[in-house]
Each structure stands twice: as C-alpha cells, then as structure tokens.
Amino acid sequence: MKKMKLVMVGNGMAGVRTLEELLKVAPDLYEITVFGAEPHPNYNRILLSPVLAGEQTLDEIILNPLSWYAEHGITLHRNKKVVSVDRTRRLVTAQDGTEAEYDRLLLATGSTPFVLPVPGKDLEGVIAYRDIADTNRMIDTARTHKHAVVIGGGLLGLEAANGLMLRGMEVTVVHIAPWLMERQLDEVSAKLLQRSLEERGLKFRIGAQTQELVGDENGRVQSVKFKDGTQVTADLVVMAAGIRPNTELAEKIGIHCNRGIVVTDTMQTVTDPRVYSVGECAAHRGIAYGLVAPLFEQGKVCANHLAQFGIGRYMGSQTSTKLKVTGIDLFSAGDFMGGEGTEEIVLSDPFGGVYKKLVLKGNKLVGACMYGDTADGSYYFKLIREGTCINDKRDRLMFGESNIVGVGHEGQSRCPSI
Amino acid sequence: MSANPSAANGTPLQSPSTKTTRATCPYCGTGCGVLIESRQGRIINVQGDPQHPANFGRLCTKGSTLHLTAADTVTQQTRLLVPMRRDQRGEAPAPIAWDTAMEEAADKFAAIIRQHGPDAVGFYGSGQLLTEDYYVLNKLAKGLIGTNNVDTNSRLCMSSAVAGYKATLGSDAPPACYEDFNHAQTMFIVGANTAYAHPILFRRIEDARRANPAMKLIVVDPRRTETADMADLFLQILPGTDVALFHGMLHVLIADGMIDAAYVNQHTQGFEALQDIVRDYTPDSVASTCGIPVADLILAARWFGAQTPTLSLYCQGLNQSSRGTDKNAALINLHLATGQIGIPGAGPFSLTGQPNAMGGREVGGMANLLSGHRDLSNPQHRSEVAALWGVDEVPAQPGQTAVEMFEAAARGEIKALWIACTNPAQSLPDQATVRKALEKAEFVVVQEAFGTTATCAFADILLPATTWGEKDGTVTNSERRISRVQAAVQPSGESRHDWAILTDFGRRLEKRLTQRTAHYRAGINTLFPYDTPESVWNEHRESTRGRDLDITGLSYGMLEASGPQQWPLPEGAGAGQARLYANGVFPTADGKARFAAINYEPVSEPPDQRYPYSLNTGRLRDQWHGMSRTGTLGRLFGHVSEPAIDIHPDDLTRMGLQPGDLVEVASRRGQIVIPVQPSGTIAPMQAFIAMHWGEEYLSGLDNQGQAMSGVNALTVPVFCPQSKQPELKHAAITITPPTLPWRLLAVAWLPESEALAVREALKPLMSAFAFTSCVPFGREPHEKGKVGVLFRAAGIEAASMDVIARIEALMGIDGVDVLRYQDKHRGQHRAMRMERSEEGLKLAAFLMAGDISAEAWIRPLLQDELVADAYGRALLAPGATPPVAIASKGRQVCTCFNVTEPAIIETLASCQGSTDARLQQLQGALKCGTNCGSCIPALRQLVKLHPATASAT
C-alpha cells in the first residue's frame, strides 16, 4: 500500500532524533522529507564549543552523515528554508520553490539567538553564536583580531568566550544579571566559576548594561559602550544573550504560539492535529526547553505517536546543566535555588575549590548545584528525576553514591582564597 | 638582654643573669622544696631543691611544671592583676584603685559589724595561705573584730586529723616523719591514694620497698587505686566502714595476744572501755560490714601487730567523713594498743592535703582554735592569747566553721564574707546552699590570685593577691617541717601579699571600730604593726612559747641558713624534733594518751532505692583542687583529659551504656550531666568523680534552668560532729541516661597568648546547653606556642546557628580556610579550619554538631597534629571510621617526656626479665617515668599487662 508522507521542517538534533526513534518502531510507515536551512547534515550543536575551543573538528561533530539519509530513503533538502505551508492542501514550500506534500508535518525549527536591540547591532564583527557558520566566523576573526566581547554570561556565552580566549583573543564577558549563569547556578558557585575563569584570563563586566556598539569608519565594530559611559574595545562582539524559539513559520501558517509552538503531551500542536513540533521551538506546558536531554525525550514521544501507537506522553523534564569548559566542573539540576518549603545541605571546600548544594523538599531531592566536583551529578540527577526517598541516606548524601569523596574531580582553583 | 643566649630556652643552666630562689611547691602537703630560676624578673624554670628533706630534688608532674603556670601568657590571661568592683551582681567587674577598694571594704564591714554585731561577718581562708597570712587573718577576726567566724578550706581537709590527734594524743601533732618510711616493716595506707595525692612521698615509699623488700604494704581503700595496685594486701572496703575495720583488727590483735600491755598500762588510758566495744567486732561480722574476706582482715591485723615497726599513712579517706574524728582516733587506737608510736618507722602519720594546712593549725586560724595550738573552749588559753595580742578578750563562742559559715550566710545571719585564696563555689559540698549564701550575702570580698575561679563571679570587690613565686613567708608540711618561702619575682600587676592586704584592711577597720580599739592594752595603737612577713612570724613564734609546737628557738635566719626545720624547736635547741612521744609522754593533763571508745557508724547518706550508688570523690594525679593553677596547662590534661564519672564495667553494661555516653548523676541536693566511663578501680554500685571538676570545667543547665555547678552539686554538707569536716567522700546518687541526642564538639589549637582567655570567653556559653565541658589540652612549651581548647556540649535539640557561630568565632573557626558542611534542618554542622605546614595541610580547629561520631578519628588528627592532606572533603563526612587510616599517637602516659601508651606497649614487646627489669629497660628506651616518676605506677601496670613477645626471647 501507499506510504504516508511525513515532512520535517528543520534538520537539527531534536528533529532528526525523532526520525531515528520513528524509524526504529515504524521503519516503513512514512515517506520522509526533510528541509534544512543549513548546508550541513545533522550535527551536534552542543559540541560547537569544543570546536571553537579547538578541541574537536567539524567532521567529528556530524551526527548523521548524508549516507544515513540515503540509507533510510529520506529526501533531504539542504540550504532550503521553508517559507510557507498550505495546511488545507498539506503542502510545504521552500524559498527556492521546492514543494513537498505531507500527511504529517513535524515542525523542528529550533531557536534563534536573541540579538540585543542596541544601536550598532548590525555592524560588521557583531555576530550571534548559533551554528557552524557563526563558529567559523569566530575562528577566522580570532586569527586576525585581538579584542572580543561576549554579551551574555550564560552557558553559551561562557563557552564562546572560553573558545575565543583559547584562540588567543582578549575576551571580556558582559553580563547584566548579578552573577554568571544565573539560571543554572546560585551566587556562591557562580562566584567560584567567575574567579576560576578570571584566573584563566577572561575579563568580566558583571551587571553592566550595553548601550551601544560603536563602529569605525569601515563599519566594523570597534568598542562596546555601556550605560555608565565606560567602553570596552571590541573588534568582535558575540551576542549570546539567550535564544528565542523560532516560531516565525508556525505563526505565519496560523499555528498557535505562546513563547513557542504550543504542543500537547503527545507533541501535537493544539491547532492542527496533523502538525507536530519538537525541540527548542516547542512550548510544552509553557516551557520551551533549551537543553538536549528533554528534547530527546520529546522526540521519543512524538515518534511513538507518528508511528500511530498512541502510547506515551511527554510530561516535561527535569533539566541538568554541565558547562563544557575543560577543567571546570560544574553541574546543576532541578530546583537548585531552593527557597520556600525546601531544605538545603551545603558543602564547601576552599582548598579543593569545591562547592555543593543539595536542595530537598520533604524526603526527596529536588535540586543540586555543584562546582568543582560533579562526580555525583548523574547520581543526584537520577534521584531528582525518580523522586527517590532519601531519608535513610540523607546524612551521607552529600558524600556521593560511593560515600567516598576527595578523589579527583577537583576544581581548577585549588586554593582560590590564598 | 641575657648575657648568656644559651639560657634563653629556659634550661636550668645557670647564667650571670639567672637568679635562683628557694621556695616550696604550692600544691600538696608533702612540702617539696623548689629552686625557682628567674631572669629579668621572669620565672623561667623550676627544679626540686636537692637539699630539701621532703623531696631531695624530686618534683612530681605538677611541681615540675610550676614555672609554666607562672609564664607571662598565663599571668596575663588568668591572674587578677588590679582591684575590681562589681556595681551589680552578675555584671562584669571594673578596675578600681586599691585605696578605693579598701576604703569601701572597711566601710561596709564596719557598718555591718556596728549594725548586726561582729558575728555578722565571716572570713573564709585557705590552707594555701602562708603562715604569716594566716596569722593576720586570724588576729583580724578574733582580735580586732571579735568574732570567731574565721575558718578555712583546711576544714574540708585536715580538721578530722586535728580532732583525732587531740582526742587521743592530746595535741594536734603528727608524731612521725618521712624518714620513718625507711624504717617501717609494715606500711598501712588507709584512705589515701598517695600515688596521686602525694606523688613524691610515693616515690619515697617505692624507694623504701626497694631497699627493704621484706616490708609489707597494706592499702585500704574503696577504690583499687594505683596505690592499691602496689600493695601486698589490698582491702577494698565498703565506703565509710573504716572504724569497723580498725576495731576488727584490734579484736584480732587482742585475740592473738599482740597487744603491747606494758605500753598500754604505762602510757594510755581507757583501753578497757575500748576492749568492751571491740569484743563485738568479730572478724566475721567485720568482714561482712566491710565487704572483705575474713582472711584478709586477719592477715592485715597480724602484719600490723607482728611485723613491726608499723607506720600508718592516711588522708581524706579518713578525714572527709561524718565520722572523721572517729576514723582517725580508731586508727590511732591500733598504734597505742601495739605501742607503734614514738619509735622510728612507727606511728599514725596523717598526710596533709594542702601545702600549709599545718601552718594554719599552728596559728589557730580556725573557728574553734587559737594561736599556738590553743583551744577556744579553754578560758586559760583565751586569756593567754588576749594577753599576747594586747586586747581585753577574745570571744569564747566558737565561730561558724566552713559549711556552717555558708549555711549561716544563706540564712542571712552572716551578711559580709571575706574569702581569701580559696574557691568555695567549687570546693564546698552542697553547692546549691553555697551559691544561695554568696548571692544572699550583702557584701562579698574575694582576695585571689586568679580571676578565673567560680567564686570570683560572686564578689562585690576583687582584691588581687600574690601567689607562687611572688610570696614571702613560711609554710609547714605534713611532718611538722617549717620551710622558708622566698619571692623569686615581683608581684604581678598591682597584686599584693595576703598578709599585707589583711594588715591594711585591719588598720582601716581599727579607725572605724573605735569601741574595740578603746580596749587595747596601753601602748598598743594597732594590732597590725607589721611591715614584713618576718615581723608577723616573730609574733607568731612568741605565741608558741611553752606550747607543744614551741619554735622559740627558730628564726627566719636559721631557716635560710640551715634549711627547713621540724617543730618543736624551743629556745636553746639546736635542731627540731624528728619524732614525737619517744618517751611515751603525751600533752595531756596526766601525760597519758587516750583510747577512743567509740562505735562504728555508717555513712550519713546510705544508698537506697532512689539513690542506689555510692559516690566517692578525690584527686587526679596531675590536677590540684579547683585547678585555677594546674588548669592553665594543657599538658596537665594529658593524664585525664575531660570530666567523667567512673563506674564498674558491669554497671555500665547493665545500664546498656557505652564508654563516653552522657549520664545524669543526681543526689538529693542537685544534679550534673557528665560522660561515664568503666573503671576496674571501682566496686559495683559505686562511682567516682574527681573533686576538681567544678562549673569552670563541667556545667550545663539543669531541669530548673539553673547552671550546674560541678561535682559538689551532689556532695553532702553533713559533717563530723567533732571536727565539723563534711563528708565529701560519700553521697548517695542515682545514675540515669538523659535524652540529649544533639552533640557539639569544638576543638582548636590557639596561640598560647589567647587560649586561656578564649576558654574564659567560652564560659558564658557553658550554660547555653544541657551539658557542657571545656578543657585545655596540649603540651607546653609547644614548639609553635600553641595551646589546645576543647569545648563539648549536648542538648535535646540543635543549638541556634547564632550560638554555634559564636563558638566558631571564639575558637578561630572562621575565615577562608574552613571546610564546611551544613544540614541546618537536621542540626548537622561541621567546620574544619586547615592550616598549611611544611609537611602539608593540618587540621587547626574544628567544630562538629549533630552527629559527632567522627570525633573518633578527627580528634587524634588534630591533637596529634597529623598531616591531613589525604582527607580532603572526607574530613566533613560523618561516622566513626576514618576514610583513610589514622596512626594516632594514643593516650599520653608520661607527661614529662610525652610518651604514649602505644609506644610503650611496642617497646615492652622486646623488654625481657622481671617486672622491675623490664620497667628499667622501658625507661632506658623511652625515658618515660625518669623525670618526676608520677607515671611509674601506670608504667608498672602496662609492664604487667604486656608480656614480652615470644619472638623477642
């Protein structure tokens, strides 16, 4: 019999993982077509930082080579940005006019970097940090220029800053929040991180508000100007002030969006049951996830429904973070800030450069934040996800699954205080 | 600067700038002579005086560390250096001028005397005062004010011995001398743990036994002490049954015909009456009363009577009893009946507890005594003293003795108290009453060297007194030997000599009590014409003329030229008298000694169902009284590091307790919380707490929210009707495990210039918990100048973070080098301050709260100053098992050379031959017990416990 048609818009990690899951359970159900705006096959976006840092090459981070698409009879349209969808005719049209019909449509358009709406944002040398192209431009600039400013002291910004520094640039990180990675770290651990990064050579402007990017006569950025009037020389400015779900297409075709493409627990859009969405573009129960683990969970659920098994629901995810800066061990998961109704267990070791905070609610672990020793991160994350009762192990919980500590996983700044 | 740099390390080495001064040790009644070395007005070392007949150059752990207790760092942190006044009780006192202080004191005393009469004031002194201090104190009360309310802590110490001697021999005079140890064939030690309380005498006993292996040593004690361990025969009697034992022995002596009939006939009275009584004390009944085997009783009697000469040594076991006088007299009965007195190697020899209790007795500084061994009750004696002093009379009405004085103050009858050189808020029984007295008294003056005693907290006026190394005068030791005490250094701060303070006070009071001074004999314008201690002493000397203790032939000059002398030493005599009563003539009307026909009476508070245990108290080897001096040295806590109650191992098991568990110990008068430990020295249903642990070291809040006042919260105020000495050696108590699950332990090495001040600063926090103890530790002189402080607490629930933070701040557990773990809701809190050293990271201080089981390995890590690099964050982990094996140095046995038990046991494995031979090899190898020798009994036990390994043979 004739196969159904599945069209996926977006060729990123979440979407392709969904296809992999689908092919596992229903290899022959669909005739699959994929549109990707980038020229590359699916690659591991998370590993762009190591590439920038010169620790890995682009080939090494490719997840699905072109051969994979061929093997599974997937039609891949690279470099083709989808511009419209006719949901009554169930027809997808790309910029270059390429068309594809669908029975099911999977929107996996991911996210776009947030660019500060400041004067000079369009100057030459001002870029976002999102894909291979951005990464290459940074690598090239590092060869020819000296001063870089990274706007945004979050996960991505710090990784970019670290990479540029390793490529020989003098890097200043501008961060508007009171401490770095405020969504992944509490103040104590953030300060430890900052001190350790400073020791490596990064400079920071914490709490500084960017007012304008100043350009030279050639239209290239030359400095960043702050509200307090001070300036920092910059011939490269990387915008890493966060991402926004890419809902441009979805909104255009009348799919309900609210800080992301609104989906149900089955990853179907609330607007059109034939249209699914996964990844950074999808808003599930009000949350658009920016980390890979939850997106893979979404993919699994979505694939199951595309396969018409109709079982499995996505209930949301507990997220955990690791900063991919070599030598800096940092981990946070769940409600690591604690507060009302929670209890905290805290350990600090200035000699080991280690800080750990476990947040408990009742008899369960609900959050963890660790700096300098993340050996037990996965253990805590497991306890958090599974909501294990920890009453019996509370007094030893801090000392890890094996109850043995003090072995390895030391932070860089061994004696930051002296 | 020192002309001789090599002397800068405080070695005994002489150098031009080093001055050596002769004095005596301020601790026990042995009266050891010391040579104090000082340079530039600072005491740098102390040695035993080789020429002093009490110790011939030896010193014990306490004596040999005296110079450390006089170090500037200790003085600055613990001494009272300026007069102070408290505007409000409970507030911190503020410095004032001497003149202001003395004027106020004189005004207050004069006003109270005028309004309520002379008996509304009381003076409470000490057996640690010098004879001169004592004399002025006595004259002030009885001569000027006209009250006999002057007593001293000797009442807690020797008054039963005094009364016992007077009741039988007619006068308060120990007839024997130390030299008798070398002649005795049988040594009978009763109620005395000589190995701890008189270590140097115990060295002499060991020497005597070595010289005469045939000598029999009998020890009688409810506890198997280190002294008992040395005995050929040990009688572990039930508490308070001494009189029954002595009567039982006399019964056997009579039955076996071992009575010296001739002596009894010629030199004694009242034997028949006694005989009638002891007839009923059959060996079987006595054995069951005392809880000892009949055979042992009989053997003891036979050795006593047959293997002569027999010398008895006794101390607080007989004295601190509601029947103290009877116990003393019943023992003296044995000596009279067997004629074992007045001959070399024989006699009832009372060992004095304090360095100058004897001197106090000589000047009559007690509520019932008068100068020169005179009696208040004797009109003749009263007029003699009145004549000597030049007053028309001295009061006849006996004054209030120690316990009575504070009971009277608690009732409001005594309104002003003058306390000198003693710490009643630590040492008197039934602290509840004592504290009530101190709070109720309208005016309290405390004349003290140390500002750290519990009593200081109750004073309205604090007067700084001189102390060891600064004092000038004389003392008399247990064998009636008077020694000169000379000052090595100037008084610290503004402190003044006790005799001078009392003289000044007397003169100011004379101006205010004109109706008293009006009756001075013509030509006398003051009772206090003293400008030197010698001028005081010369007056005292005159008061002895013609008395049994006549020292009219003695002078400061003679003491300085020919050394210490025994009394009597009347005018014309060239030397003192080693032994008394050689001629069998006693200082009684008819020259005959009296047998005491008395019956055995049990302890005043026998154990019952509610209070089933018998509590005994006594000394530790390395501590002294309230520890105001010994407590300043961490190294003196090496022997016993923290307060504890000792009980029999079976009782511990029966109560389901582990060593170190906290127990609540309660008597009818009060309670304390204290760690429990099993001890083979204790008999079942008995218990022992060292007398030293007052609220300064052991406290907490009781059920009524009152601060607990240490061991004497439990003891009974009941005293002997004759001697008025309280029964500190027995109280009925109950022992129950309290529910105090939350524990706190903070331990820190601190600079020696701060440690003791920190301990003082921690004191207010000692009543913030249900249980607290706070002690120093360490080993002065520490190579890095550190002294340790340990603070232990327990409670029903976790203490507030604020309290914990205060403790951490005080103990230097703050700053950036601190590892921390905190689970606030579980009350779990651990903080470890690390310090870098050449060898690596070391633990400098820690506080753990909640679960402190990790103490087992963390504490050795700190105290032994081991490298802690290997631990990292594991230092914060709970549990008693170390994450990395620890090589702890173990318990310190030899304080002088810091030799620990593991080292000794290891060495013993290769020591061959007899116990003595192996002990010698051990001492050769490790030097342990070769300095003061106080640990030799302990070493001997270890030698017996750890035979040489086969491989080493």
Q: What is the pLDDT of residue A155?
A: 87
**Are A406 and B874 in contact (CB < 8 Å)?**
yes
With contacts defined as CB-CB under 8 Å, which chain A residues touch B833? none
CB B818 within 8 A of CB B835: no
The pLDDT value recorded for residue B885 is 72
Closest partner residue to A349 (CB to CB) among B819, B825, B879 is B819
Assess contact for B758 and B810: CB atoms under 8 A. yes
> Tell me, what amino acid is at B198?
H
C-beta atoms of B821 and A347 within 8 A:
yes
Alpha-carbon B374 to chain mean position: 27
Q: Phi first, then psi: what are they for B588, rounded to 5°?
A: -120, 170
Q: With a cut of 70, which residues of chain B have pLDDT below it?
A: 1-16, 950-953
Question: Domain spans of chain A?
Answer: 4-112+243-306, 126-239, 320-403
Nearest chain A residue to B830, by CA: A347
Give buried/exposed letters for B910-933 (b at 16+ CB in 10 A, else e).
ebeeeeeebbebbbebbebbbbbb
CATH of A320-403, one of 3.30.470.10, 3.30.390.30, 3.40.50.1000, 3.40.50.720: 3.30.390.30
Which residue in chain B has the smallest CA separation from A341? B825
Considering only CB atoms, which chain B residues are within 8 Å of A351?
817, 819, 834, 841, 872
Q: In sequence order, what are the residues at sequence separation of 6 or more whose Cβ sits closer than 8 angstroms to the Cβ of residue B71?
A: B43, B752, B780
| pLDDT at residue number A1 | 64
Pick from B835, B867, B873, B875 the residue to mutate for testing the A interface (most A CBs within 10 Å). B873
Q: Which of B627, B753, B787, B616 is nearest to B697 (CA)?
A: B627
Nearest to B819 among A348, A373, A398 (CB): A348
**Among partner residues A352, A395, A406, which is closest to B878 by beta-carbon distance?**
A395
Distance, CA of B883 to CA of B901 (rounded, Å) = 24
Site from A188, A399, A401, A415 to mutate, B interface, most B CB atoms within 10 angstroms: A399
Residues 6+ apart with CB under 8 A from A37: A10, A11, A79, A80, A81
Q: Are B57 and B44 in contact (CB under 8 A)?
A: no
B873 vs A404: CB contact, 8 Å cut-off?
no
**Are A350 and B817 an interchain contact pair (Cβ–Cβ within 8 Å)?**
yes
CB contact under 8 A, A350 and B871: no
pLDDT at res. A405: 36
What residue spans of A82-172 are helical by DSSP H? 132-144, 155-166
pLDDT value, residue A403: 62
Asked if the domains A4-112+243-306 and A126-239 are classified in one and the same CATH topology, the answer is yes
pLDDT per position as a tens digit, B705-764: 889 999 999 999 999 999 999 999 999 999 999 999 999 999 999 999 999 999 999 999
pTM for the structure as a whole: 0.88
Residue A70, amino acid: A
A187 touches chain B (CB under 8 A): no
Nearest CB neighbour to A417, from listed B817, B821, B826: B817
* A contact test, residue of B742, B823, B875 with most A CBs within 10 A: B823
Task: Tell me how far apart the alpha carbons of residues B486 and B509 are, in angstroms, rounded to a whole number.
Answer: 29
Q: Where are the beta strands (DSSP E) in B300-396?
A: 310-314, 347-350, 369-370, 374-375
Contact B872 A350 (CB under 8 A): no
Q: What is the ipTM of this complex?
A: 0.83
- B880 CB within 8 Å of a chain A CB: no
* CA–CA min distance B13, chain A (Å): 43
Q: How far apart are CA B730 and CA B726, in angstroms?
A: 10
Q: Which residues of A touch B876 (CB under 8 A)?
A: 347, 349, 398-399
**Among A398, A404, A417, beta carbon nearest to B816:** A417
Verify whether the Cβ–Cβ distance A347 to B824 is below 8 Å.
Answer: no
Amino acid letter, A270: V
> Which residue of chain A comes nearest to B819, CA vs CA?
A349
Question: Which phi and psi angles does B124 have, rounded to 5°?
Answer: -125, 110
Question: B428 and B454 in contact (C-beta within 8 Å)?
Answer: no
Superfamily classification of domain A126-239: FAD/NAD(P)-binding domain (3.50.50.60)
Q: What is the pLDDT of residues B72-116, one digit of tens each?
A: 999 999 999 999 999 999 999 999 999 999 999 999 999 999 999
Task: For domain A4-112+243-306, say whether CATH 3.50.50.60 is its number.
Answer: yes
Q: How far apart are CA B131 and CA B476, in angstroms?
A: 8
Distance from CA of A346 to the nearest CA of B (A): 5
Averages of pLDDT over runs of 10 residues in chain A (418 residues) are: 92 96 95 96 92 92 95 96 96 96 97 94 94 94 96 92 95 95 86 92 95 94 95 95 94 96 96 96 92 91 95 87 77 86 93 92 93 89 92 90 46 30
Contact B385/B374 with Cβ under 8 angstroms? Answer: yes
First to last CA, chain A: 74
Q: Tell me if chain A has a CB within 8 Å of the CB of B828.
A: yes
Q: Are B718 and B726 in contact (CB under 8 A)?
A: yes
- The predicted pLDDT at position B289 comes to 98
| Mutant choice from A343, A348, A364 vs B, greatest count of B C-beta within 10 A | A348
Identify the bridge partners of residue B593 per DSSP, sorted by sequence position: B268
A350 near B CB under 8 A: yes
Residue B432 confidence (pLDDT): 96
DSSP string, B532-573: SHHHHHHHHHHHTTTSTT--TT--HHHHHHH--EESP--TT-
